[in-house]
Amino acid sequence: MKKTKVIDVNSRGTIAAGVILGTIGVLSFIVQPGLVQGFVSVLGLSEADANLLASIEMAGIAIATIIAIFLTPNVSWRIILGAAIIIAAVGNLFSAIGDNDTSLQLARFITGIGEGLIISLSFTIIGLTKKTERNIALYLALLMTYGAFGLWGMPLAFETIGLNGIFIIWAILTLIALITLKYVPVSTESQEEPRPSAVQLSIGWLILALLAVFAYNAAIGLAWANLFLIGMDIKPNEQTVANALLIAQFAGIIGAIGAVYLSDRIGSWWPLSLGVIIAAICISLLLGDTSILIFVIAVSGFNGLWNFTLPYLLSIVGDMDTKSRMMTLAIAIQMVGLGSGPYLASKLFESGFGFTEMEIITAVALVGSVIILSIPMRIHRIKLKNR
């Protein structure tokens, strides 16, 4: 029997495959503010129902990332990704041809299943590389570039090709990603040894770290899905808000590049903690009556710091075990958190609350995530020092 060639996860081809697949996995999520606005303006859904529809797709992503935990040790990663790409493409295609709300909900859920598997494995691949922070930041830079022009062009896309046309384009782009599979490792066999900074923590500390990951991403998901709606509440002009979010996406690119530059120069804890706290302050700027200029400043700061801090968060949590399992778990919890955000927003709107309450919860959850993570992070430092 011919032995499968073990691929070096640090090769350019494999890193590029992980980055590209990661971007394909979040084609809809990274432009979610515009997509939610489209559900409202094109489909005529209420703010609560638009958030609920977004949360259904995110639920599919979250479920798939949990399934990936059990699949990845036993099934070829190429087989999983090949199936996931087809599932996501079919879900996007069905989203374009569905003729009622139920069929669209089902189609977005199916899309989410495919996307979740792609996201989970792409992050796992990047997490196995020696320069995790740098490679995650490169991934964020690519997807934010796509997100910048995607959000900026969404109002025009709604007018020209419509929401269905966007879904069809996503289906085509997803299928094209099949060409990356030959660069994908078959399994974790590709990793020779854990990173030097990896230390095995006990289950209790790992659970606490994952709780911090959940709180961080639930806060992100709560705000992110509604940024377009918040902007429309300040200035009801779709293109003006799209332009503001374009600037915010470029701020996200700068944040990711900043993480690339600093990843080998300073530690992880201070960039993460300060970045998250300042992101919470940025969201707090939106409380009360404000202007479109303050909106641009707030969402740019929030988006830039999100993409700056995320590589550090995943790297820190990934170093809390020596068998690469924590990265996969962290990605699963990340998707659960991001999916919980729009669902929580829909419930807030249904209960009569508005953007003010949502912004307060976001800021508190962000700060809370840093406080929670500081405990297992301290244990990690002590164990690493005494090793």
pLDDT single digits (tens) 253-300? 888 888 777 766 677 888 999 999 999 999 999 998 889 999 999 999
CA distance 131 to 264: 9
What one-character-per-residue DSSP string does 100-147 give?
SHHHHHHHHHHHHHHHHHHHHHHHHHHHTSS-HHHHHHHHHHHHHHHH
Structure tokens at 261: 């530059």
Which structural domains are found in the chain, ordered by start?
12-386 (1.20.1250.20)
Which residue, 191, 182, 306, is CA-closest to 255? 306
Lowest-confidence region among 180-194, 243-257, 274-288, 362-376: 180-194
- What pLDDT score was predicted for residue 163? 93
- What pLDDT score was predicted for residue 7? 56
Q: Provide mean pLDDT across the span 200-206.
A: 92
Which residue, 268, 265, 53, 34, is CA-closest to 159? 34
**In the predicted structure, residue 177 carries a pLDDT above the cut 60:** yes
Q: Are 144 and 254 contacting, i.e. CB atoms less than 8 angstroms apart?
A: no
Q: 78 pLDDT band (50/70/90 cuts)?
A: very high
**In the predicted structure, residue 195 carries a pLDDT above the cut 70:** no
Q: Provide mean pLDDT across the span 148-168.
A: 92
- What pLDDT score was predicted for residue 2? 42
**In the predicted structure, residue 151 carries a pLDDT above the cut 60:** yes
DSSP for residue 184? S
Residue 105 sits at the vertex; the CA angle it makes with 101 and 107, to the nearest 5 degrees, is: 115
Which residue, 174, 213, 235, 203, is CA-closest to 314? 213
CA distance 92 to 171: 5
Burial class (CB in 10 A: 0-12, 13-18, 19+), 44: exposed
CA distance 253 to 311: 13
* 318 vs 171: which has the higher pLDDT: 171
For the chain, first and last CA: distance in Å?
Answer: 42
Lowest-confidence region among 136-145, 205-214, 231-240, 330-339: 136-145
The model's pLDDT over 234-243, given as tens digits with 9 standing for 90+, comes to 998 888 998 9
- pTM summary value: 0.82
SS3 letters across 264-282: CCCCCHHHHHHHHHHHHHH
| Cα–Cα separations (whole angstroms), residue 71 to 78, 293, 335 | 12, 47, 17
Burial class (CB in 10 A: 0-12, 13-18, 19+), 5: exposed
> Within 10 A of 131 (CB to CB), how many other CB atoms are there?
17
Q: What percent of the chain has pLDDT over 70?
A: 93
- What pLDDT score was predicted for residue 263? 64
